Chains A and B, each alone.
Chain A
Amino acid sequence: MQTLYLAIVILALLAIVFGAILGFAAIRFKVDGDPIVDQIDNLLPQTQCGQCGHPGCRPYAEAIANGEAINHCPPGGETTIKALADLLDVEAIPLDAEHGTEAIRTIAYIREDECIGCTKCIQACPVDAILGAAKQMHTVIIDECTGCDLCVEPCPVDCIDMIPIDVTPVSWHWQQPEQLIATSSLPHSHGESDHA
């Protein structure tokens, strides 16, 4: 009988001590958030345009961390895909055309004499780059605008234009040739189920 009590006491003691230490460690060694999500989020263009199918850049960063493909971001284009591929140590893949194509970088411009001050574009803007109030003329803060197109559709008088930004030496990048490496197309690929 004594052995029984001893066994219970020893096991209970072990469990309590270990539990206490683990509980302490969970607080003492707490790590805030998932650092990889922050790193991915930093590389995304922060247009919050939603073309990837997620409600913003951070949700897409979380999705990438959970294994989604890295080529769903048209505003970021090839540069972003390359940076993501470097960070995550995966192959860089071409942009998925399903989510849109890499366009020339544009910003919104409001033709101010036509603006009726309806504030609809202000509500649509994901980055709060449009200034204005009800029945007052609106205008776009150029430095804040990400060129996401989201304000164009809500405008009832179609007074918003997307105008391309001039290419500067900083934003210009070399156009890669289409076919750099000769690839051979195999007449019969091995392991396919044609002959199975």
Chain B
Amino acid sequence: MVDYLLILVSTVLVNNFVLVQFLGLCPFMGVSSRLETAMGMSLATTFVLTLASLCSYLTYTYLLEPFGLEFLQTISFILVIAFVVQFTEMVVHKTSPLLHKVLGIFLPLITTNCAVLGVALLNIKKANGFIESILYGFGAAVGFSLVLILFAAMRERITVADVPAPFKGAAIAMMSAGIMSLAFMGFTGLVAI
């Protein structure tokens, strides 16, 4: 039980995927200009990352490992994740228009994201078990969501602030991201995983 909690704290705060491991930076910069879209993206990412770590674990353990085909992990993970997300998107589109309105456009966007593949590959590298894999993916997604929403809230305030002309737009966003990353370094050493 403590192990599981440690995995969550570790992925959310200490080894945050965006600010410490620098994965998933494109949605972090791209979708953070409005708080609403950031929330939609966070939900979609949470869903995809959890699902991806589950699927990639099953693929690796029951398909690749028995045949000694571990070197196929990257390509088969991409295949599996893209398939599962696309399939879910279709089902959601048909069955729940409301949910599709919230998640719809973000699902295909996040599918081929480096954070998603990163979670799958890191799970294998760390030899995580079934539940650990899912928790690792979920934790990574919660960490991503936390940072994305915080950053979006910050950027919304920055747009109305009096920023010097040379720093306007992307420049000030990059700088605030850097400072946020420095702040998250303060968590280093909290959990050793």
- Contact check, B93 vs A191: say whether CB atoms are below 8 A apart: no
Digitize A30-55: 1 where CB-to-B-CB distance is under 8 Å, 0 elsewhere. 11000100000000000000000000
With A31-B94, A190-B162, A196-B165 as given contacts, are A21 and B69 in contact (CB-CB < 8 Å)?
Answer: no
A6 touches B67 (CB 8 A): yes
- Report how many residues on chain B are interfacial, defined by Cβ distance under 8 Å: 26
Interface residue from B68, B79, B91 paired with A3 (Cβ < 8 Å)? B68
Determine whether the beta carbon of B67 is less than 8 Å from that of A191.
no
> Please, which residues of chain B bring their CB within 8 A of the CB of A190?
160, 162
- Indicate if A7 sits at the interface (CB-CB under 8 A): yes
Contact B160 A29 (CB under 8 A): no
Q: Is the CB of A10 within 8 A of B72?
A: yes
Cα of A22 to Cα of B86 in the assembled complex, Å: 8
B-side contacts of A22, CB under 8 Å: 83, 86-87, 90
Q: Quick check: A25 and B87 within 8 Å, CB to CB?
A: yes
B90 is contacted by which of A14, A29, A35 (Cβ under 8 Å)? A29
CB distance from A191 to the nearest CB of B (A): 5
- Structural contact, A18 and B162, CB atoms closer than 8 A: no
User: Chain A, interface size: which category?
Assistant: 20 to 34
Kindly state the separation between the CA atoms of A10 and B79 in the bound complex, as whole angstroms.
12
In chain B, positions 55-103 with a C-beta closer than 8 Å to chain A are: 63-64, 67-69, 71-72, 75-76, 79-80, 83, 86-87, 90-91, 93-95, 97
Complex Cα spacing A21 to B69, Å: 24
Task: Verify B97–A191 contact, CB threshold 8 A.
Answer: no
Bound together, the chains give a CA A29 to CA B97 distance in angstroms of 12
B76 touches A14 (CB 8 A): yes
Q: A6-B67, A11-B75 are in contact. List 4 more A-B contacts (CB 8 A).
A: A7-B71, A10-B76, A18-B79, A18-B83
Chain A residues packing against B (C-beta within 8 Å): 3, 6-7, 10-11, 14-15, 18, 21-22, 25-26, 29-31, 35, 190-191, 193, 196
Nearest 10 A-B pairs (CB), nearest first?
A: A29-B94, A196-B165, A18-B83, A29-B90, A25-B90, A190-B162, A191-B162, A31-B93, A7-B69, A6-B67
A-B contact pairs, 7 of them (CB 8 A): A3-B68, A7-B72, A26-B90, A29-B94, A30-B94, A190-B162, A191-B163
